[in-house]
Amino acid sequence: MKLPEVLKTIIRLPLRLIPREAVMRICSGPLRGFRWIAGSAPHGSWLGTYESHVQRLFCERVKPGDIVFDIGANVGFFTLLASKLAGPNGHVYAFEPLPRNLSYIEQHIRLNDLANVTVKPIAIAATSGTARFGDGENDSQTRLSEKGEHQVTTASLDDLIASGVAPLPAFIKMDIEGAESDALRGALALLGSTGLTIVLSTHGHVQQERCWSALEQAQFHLELLRDGAADGDYLILATK
């Protein structure tokens, strides 16, 4: 049974008293005990409940020694989780172009003494170059946009791997607010490799169709974990 909105508001009131700059210990979930800046993201992050279904996927799929790409890393929640799961013999590459988010990622890495994470201030796209990047309704919904406030560096995944900036990953999490199909167009060589798992959020029915088709053509096994027919937000698990 869903809680009434008034009751939800009452429950959330004490959380508003927590200073945004406060460093909290994550309360539950696989990152329990990790340090987190309270105001960097919704309180569900340090409470440990943030996107619990995706957390479970990470725990099931990311193995010690894996190379992990966190594409659209935001402020680094899943970067931290991938770092823990991949362990000292693995490595995480966090791709995030927005300066505000990059600052929090770097702080979270320092607060937790992580040595197996590389942060790249890059927007993953179909081609390498520069583009405009705009703010969304909140800091987790920023995206490439011709009217964007920021100019950012873009790179295709194939270019990054071919140039040696990053090695072939075993696991990719991608959540880039409508640029997913462009990112896949720039990763044709990568998608041809084997032993790869992708957790892909798609935003909008057109993006979902394009991404599903591209992954299907690349011979991935696909599972629709969230049907976004109602709101346009889908979640795909692709394995090969």
Please state the three-class secondary structure of 9-74 as a single string. HHHHHHHHHCCCCCEEECCCCCCCCCEEEHHHCCCHHHHCCCCHHHHHHHHHHCCCCCEEEEECCC
Quote the number of domains for the chain. Answer: 1
CATH assignment at residue 119: 3.40.50.150
pLDDT 10s digits, 119-141 = 999 999 999 988 776 655 544 44
Q: Is residue 5 part of a domain?
A: no
Q: Is residue 197 part of a domain?
A: yes
* Domain region containing 228: 51-239
Q: How far apart are CA 11 and CA 152, in angstroms?
A: 39
Q: Is residue 7 part of a domain?
A: no
Q: Is residue 185 part of a domain?
A: yes
For the cut 50, the answer to whether the pLDDT of residue 50 exceeds it is yes
Contact 216, 191 (CB under 8 A): no
The pTM assigned to this predicted structure is 0.88
Q: Is residue 30 part of a domain?
A: no
- pLDDT value of residue 126: 95
Token code pair at residue 162: 């071919």
Share of the chain above pLDDT 90, in %: 80
Share of the chain above pLDDT 70, in %: 87
Q: Is residue 13 part of a domain?
A: no
Q: Is residue 179 part of a domain?
A: yes
Backbone angles phi, psi at 152, to 5 degrees: -130, 160
For the cut 60, the answer to whether the pLDDT of residue 37 exceeds it is yes
- pLDDT value of residue 140: 45
